[in-house]
Each structure stands twice: as C-alpha cells, then as structure tokens.
Amino acid sequence: QVTKLTPFGRLALWPYRSLISVMALGRRLVSVGDLHGDYTTTMQILRKMGLVDEAGDWSGGAATLVQTGDQVDRGKDSLKILNFLMRLQDQAPQSGGRVLLLYGNHEVMHLQGSYDYLHITELKEAGGRQVWQKLWEPEGDVGKRVRERFQAIALVGSTLFSHAGLLPQLAEGFAASIAGAPAPADVVE
C-alpha cells in the first residue's frame, strides 16, 4: 500500500489525483525518464532491465519502476507507450511490484491543450487535432487515465523522484509535509 500524503502549498490547486507517494524500499528500484514516444527503445530498455518479457508483460517481480515523465511527444508512439506503461502498472502488483508514473512537462502540456511537440504521424493516425484534443480532455480516454494514474513526485525509500527537480520553496513544503509521516522503513507495503 502506498501512503498518500496531503498536497501542500499551491500544489494543492493542481487538478491531479496524487502528488506524493511514500513507500518502503527493500527491493529493486529502476528509474527511466524521457521516453518521448519511442516505443522500440522503451521496450529495449525495460527488457534489458529485466522488467518486461519478450511479450511485453511485467517480469520484474517485486521491483519498483519509476517513469519520471515525458512519455509523450517527439516520437510517433506516445499513446502506445502510455497504454503499455499503464498496463504494466496493473500487472506489476500481481508479482509484488509497482510502477509509478510521474508527470513530465510534456504530459502537463497535453493536459493543458498544447501539442506543439506531437509527432505529425501520431496526430494523423489519431484522426487529427480535434480528436487528439478530445482524448486529452478531463473526461477523455487519455486525459482521465493520466489524471488518475500519474503523480508529480514520488518518494521511494529515501529517494525523491520528480521530472525536473523542485523549486526550493516546494522542496521546503514537501519536507515539512512529510515531517510527521512514518519513516520509510515503517511504511507498510
């Protein structure tokens, strides 16, 4: 069980489900960032790390995978990567593993309606800009799932993960918000 902490400061205004996760560490931890729509390389990385098998199913056992954002844009397989990682997020707990998906600036841009870096092939295959925009709306297929499953930062053991760091005032607020939280070794998985 991941302990969810109350968002702090101005981050509480974010329309996203979960901002912070705290969990005990006692298993393998893998972090991967900036996949940017490159499904082939994503699969190569996760296979080499022993997290997925040849069929693309979770094989990481009790490992924790933290994807630190920017799954979308640049490459032509943004949706394929999103769907794949969300499937792994569902599969991993069956083996005692966990997949944490963090917001990168590109996911946030899509949630805000900015698609400046979207690969033209992916946009065409989706049916055009209006279809893509509907997918990312708050109740759209992609937008709703991203808002439900992603988080801004994660604390795994004593390691803090974010996409591009924290502003000093946010880091101070984060430290203050977890001051009363149980130590990572005390958090029940």
What positions carry a catalytic annotation? 106
C-alpha–C-alpha distance, residues 179 and 181, integer Å: 6
- Rounded distance between C-alpha atoms, residue 90 and residue 113, angstroms: 27
- Three-state SS string over 29-97 comes to EEEECCCCCCHHHHHHHHHHCCCECCCCCECCCCCEEEECCCCCCCCCCHHHHHHHHHHHHHHHHHHCC
Find tokens 């591009």 and name the residue: 164
Query: Which of 49, 28, 4 has the alpha carbon at shortest distance from 155?
Result: 4
Separation CA 67–CA 70 (nearest Å): 9
